Chains A and B, each alone.
Chain A
Amino acid sequence: MRDHKTPLKKRYDLLLLAALVLVGLGLTAFVLLSRMNSASDGLTVTIRQDNEVVATLPLDEDATYAVQGEDGGTTNLVVIEDGTVHMEEADCPDQLCVKQGKISYAGDSLICLPNRVVVEISGEDEQALDAVAK
């Protein structure tokens, strides 16, 4: 190794690594806290296709939504069940969205890249934030 363990060099390394770990811990705390605070009722499921909202559904009501492709066929079948959402079926080659399983927290999302479909759960706070962002 070309590294020389001079005290100065070591201090820079420790500072940078400590900063990186601290930011990581901050992110972790932020996500955990926002999950603890988010009430499980009043959450909304937003389904987007090509960056446009195609459906907004309440998380606490069981429902099935078929996302339609350009040819009119179903590309993704979104199922809301017992306060969770999952992708029941998809015609994408990778099937990663189906494998993502169930989501139930505000901020969680199911993403189907090939079909450009995003299913998100959001709470009231985030809807307000979204409105500000637009």
Chain B
Amino acid sequence: MKTRRVAQYGLLIALALVLSYVESLVPAFFAVPGVKLGLTNLVVMVALYRMGDRDAIIINLLRILLVSMTFGNAFSLMYAAAGGLLSGAVMILLKRTGKFKMLTVSIAGGIAHNVGQILIAMVLLGTWRVSYYLLILWWSGLAAGFAIGILSAQVVRRLPESLFNGGQR
């Protein structure tokens, strides 16, 4: 039981590391440097739908630490924390209502991730004008959330049952 949980966490953290690296390859895409796409929302989705709420919260905190430490600058922790906490909260709460599909949860999470980042950027940079970039970030969050929603449904379906059959039943 304990070993399986360690293996589950290890797998998701390894996946978050890969996604975090992929995301670091496209930083200049955004007008606000340091802002990330939020691809690691994928591991939170998988944890949420395969393990449970409590595990999703722990995985969320772990991926925030990971994203902020691995491929970033001094502001990364703040961005990662704001984006990760908001998107994690939105995804977990929406899932809990039981009224939304996985894809919808993921899209809302993708947008929440970027809204969180732009809010903290406004505070850190001391200017509300950064909010103009909310436009770009809103649509890219929606697109990223859509892609992650489809991907995480695939991952959840294909992960070996023996590794993830504790949480959902």
Whether A and B are associated in the same complex: the answer reads: yes
Which single member of B74, B127, B157 contacts A109 (CB below 8 Å)? B127
Measured CA separation A8–B160 after assembly (Å): 31
Q: Is the CB–CB distance between A113 and B33 below 8 Å?
A: yes
Binds A, one of B9-17, B39-47, B54-62, B129-137: B129-137
Q: Is the CB–CB distance between B102 and A31 below 8 Å?
A: no
Q: Is the CB–CB distance between B73 and A94 below 8 Å?
A: yes
Q: What size tier do the contact residues of chain A reach?
A: 35 or more
Q: Is the CB–CB distance between A113 and B135 below 8 Å?
A: no
Total cross-chain contacts (CB, 8 A): 87
Q: Is the CB–CB distance between A3 and B101 below 8 Å?
A: yes
Considering the complex, give the chain A residue whose CB is closest to the CB of B146.
A17
Which single member of A27, A99, A100 contacts B135 (CB below 8 Å)? A27
Question: Contact string, A110-133, partner B, CB cutoff 8 A, digits 1/0?
Answer: 011110101010100010000001
Chain B residue contacts of A62, Cβ below 8 A: none
Q: Is B108 an interface residue (CB 8 A)?
A: yes
Considering the complex, give the chain A residue whose CB is closest to the CB of B99.
A12
Q: Is the CB–CB distance between A48 and B27 below 8 Å?
A: no
Measured CA separation A23–B27 after assembly (Å): 25
Q: Is the CB–CB distance between A16 and B100 below 8 Å?
A: yes
**Residues in B lying within 8 Å of A, measured CB to CB:** 27-28, 31-34, 49, 73-75, 94, 99-104, 107-108, 111, 125-130, 132, 134-135, 138-139, 142, 153, 156-157, 168
New contact pairs (9) apart from A1-B157, A27-B135, A96-B28, CB-CB < 8 Å? A1-B153, A2-B49, A2-B102, A13-B101, A16-B100, A21-B142, A48-B126, A111-B125, A113-B73
